[in-house]
Amino acid sequence: MTIPVLMVVIYFLATIVISLVYARRQKELKTYFVAAGSMPIVMVAALLFGEIIAGAGTVGNAGTAFRIGLSSVWANWGMSIGCILFVIFVSKFFYTMGVVKGCMSVPEAYSHLFDERSRIVMMCNVAIVYFIFFSTQAPAAASIIAPLLGTNYLVTVWAFTAVFIAITIFGGIQGVAAMNILNTVVMFGGMIIVAVQSVSSLGGLTELQASVPPTFFSVAQPDFWTVFAQGAGTAIGFVASSNVATACFSANSLHTAKRGIVVAAVIVLPFALIPAVIGICASVALPGIPANMAMYLMANHLGPAFGGLISMAILAAIMDSAGILLIVTTTLTQDLFKPYIFPRASDKQQLLFSRLVAIPLAILGTWLGMNADSILSQLLGGLQIRSVVGIVLLVALAWPRVTKDAAFYSMLAGGVVAAFWHFAGNPLGIQPLWPGAGVCLLILIPMTLLSKEKISPGYQMYLDAQAQLSEMETGAPTLAQGEDE
């Protein structure tokens, strides 16, 4: 057994053991989905960092950098900026909904602020977007690990899919978070070593810059408006992100949630540059290789030990996508199965449904992902589709007058347009953010202005929930804003 293969096998077994250790604790619904609101800062940060990076932030990032340079970082930088927006503008809303209303999913929180129609729209948005995210993970893993192990590509793809299913079914959110702590250490350590050695092997940073087109070290490629749409769409979409909201629901306090999310956002910024640099180095050292193999082949070009390190780092990033599959199953359980299919379902029955539905979802997602041209483009498109619901939430929390009808029709129309634009291949070269956001605001603003109520019933509910949370934390009765004192 070669050194790289041995390193990967040891790491792979370690992640499985961690997941199985936490499997014994996943007997209650709230523990399985949101850790019963008990996670400390380190687990919140690790959970979020791993799900932000995943395969698209490593293999996809390096592959895009191989073609166009440092602009590949915007998927992750946009998420990082989005995390800060989440903390500033909406973290209190989701934390309050989790504690006071018992919410465990973003659509469930939307149903309280708006209505059941908005919940359904949000459920579809979350399911589609995260399904897109998940679909790329097993193919990305197999593209690296199959050549390393000398196994058949298709067999390796489905083997990874089976592992993702097992981690989702047995580990729950705590298992994923604990696994992500190990993954974060492995990703940083392995990729930094390979990036430094890659640059050094080409004569240093100055020589590398001289060997590629000047645009490779610009973060505004292929043009400013495309990059702006990708970054802004990703950031705005993150205010309604199930990744971040789940971290918020799972934290042991609002303070912990905010600090954990900020920590994840901060470490993502420098990390995103690392796979991009490796991808650029590969474009110089190995110009004829497939783009999505740039990271592994560059590392392996340096020597077997470096190939093993990068394989472990890539595997670490991709194994984090089990949390993405868990988000989809949580949403379908909390926002479809429980309210509409089986309203009287017990916690045990909901757990069973969540675990069973993970199997066909993972299989279908992997099958679709094997036909995706670009891992990163799928991620960016999905994030821009999600930005529509993020815009509505930001406006609704800043403008209490937003009505349930305005929210529903603007999310529905804007989301459909953005999704159509993405799946149609961005007609006219326009990113999905622009038509989606435009249609959304054209409906949201006029419908809200027509409302005669200064504070909508949904926003008043939120104020009441804030007052209740304050009372729970201090033990002293308080009045919500907007109530008569």
Q: Assess whether pLDDT exceeds 90 at residue 326.
A: no
At 25, is the pLDDT very low, low, confident or very high (cuts 50, 70, 90)? low
Residue 128 in domain: yes
How many other CB atoms sit within 10 Å of the CB of residue 62?
A: 34
Q: Flag the least confident range among 6-10, 179-183, 357-361.
A: 6-10
Kindly state whether residue 480 falls inside one of the protein's structural domains. no
**Residue 31: pLDDT over 50:** yes
Contacts of 329 (CB under 8 A, 6+ apart): 168, 354, 355, 357, 358, 361
Provide the token pair at 471. 């009372």
Which neighbouring-strand residues pair with 79?
A: none
Residue 308: CATH number of its domain = 1.20.1730.10
Q: Are 440 and 413 in contact (CB under 8 A)?
A: yes
In a domain, 263, yes or no: yes
Reading the block at residue 339, the tokens are 């309210």
Cis, peptide link before residue 222, omega less than 30° from 0: yes
- DSSP E strands in 218-324: the ranges are none
Alpha-carbon span 234 to 240, nearest angstrom: 10
Beta carbons within 10 angstroms of residue 428's beta carbon:
6
Give 303's contacts (C-beta < 8 A, 6+ positions apart): none
| CA–CA separation, 220 and 200 (whole Å) | 26
138 Cβ neighbours under 8 A, 6+ residues apart: 157, 158, 160, 161, 164, 318, 366, 369
Q: 286-295, 297-306, 325-334, 367-376: lowest mean pLDDT where?
A: 367-376
d(CA 389, CA 380): 16
**What does the pLDDT average to over 448-454?**
91
Pair 184, 263: CB distance under 8 Å? no
d(C-alpha 135, C-alpha 370), whole Å: 8
Digit-coded pLDDT (tens) for 107-123: 999 999 999 999 998 88
Q: What is the pLDDT of residue 381?
A: 63
CB of 312 closer than 8 Å to CB of 94: no
- Say how many Å lie between the first and final Cα of the chain, rounded: 74
* Residue 42 lies inside a defined structural domain of this protein: yes
Q: Take residue 342 and report the two structure tokens written for it.
A: 């089986």
| Dist CA 390 CA 440 (whole Å) | 11
CA separation for the pair 10, 23 (Å, rounded): 20
323-335 b/e (C-beta count within 10 Å ≥ 16 → b): bbbbbbbbbbbbb
Does any domain span residue 168? yes
Q: What angle do CA 150, 153, 158 make, to 5 degrees?
A: 120
Q: What is the pLDDT of residues 210-259, one digit of tens each?
A: 999 989 998 888 788 778 877 887 788 788 888 889 889 999 999 999 99
Number of domains in the chain: 1
Does the pLDDT at position 375 exceed 70?
Answer: no
Amino acid at 312: M
> Is 428 within a domain?
no
pLDDT at 128 over 70: yes
Instruction: Report yes or no on 130 lying in a domain.
Output: yes
Backbone torsion region of residue 483, taken as left when φ is above 0, otherwise alpha when ψ lies between -120 and 50, otherwise beta: beta
Report how far apart, in Å, the C-alpha atoms of 269 and of each of 10, 52, 57, 90, 274 are.
Answer: 29, 11, 11, 21, 10
What pLDDT is attached to residue 19? 66
Whether the Cβ atoms of residue 237 and residue 384 lie closer than 8 Å to each other: yes
Asked if residue 448 is part of any domain, the answer here is: no
Q: For residues 299 and 314, give the distance between their C-alpha atoms in angstroms, rounded to a whole number.
A: 11
Residue 39 has pLDDT above 80, yes or no: yes
**How many Å apart are CA 148 and CA 24, to the nearest integer?**
33
| Cα Rg, the chain, nearest whole Å | 22
- Domain limits at 138? 3-372
Q: 54-94 pLDDT, tens per residue?
A: 656 787 789 889 999 999 898 789 889 999 999 999 999 99
> Which residues in 183-222 are b (16+ Cβ under 10 Å) and which e?
bbebbbebbbbbbebbbebbeeeeebeeeeeeebbeeebe
Give residue 93's Cα distance to chain centre: 19
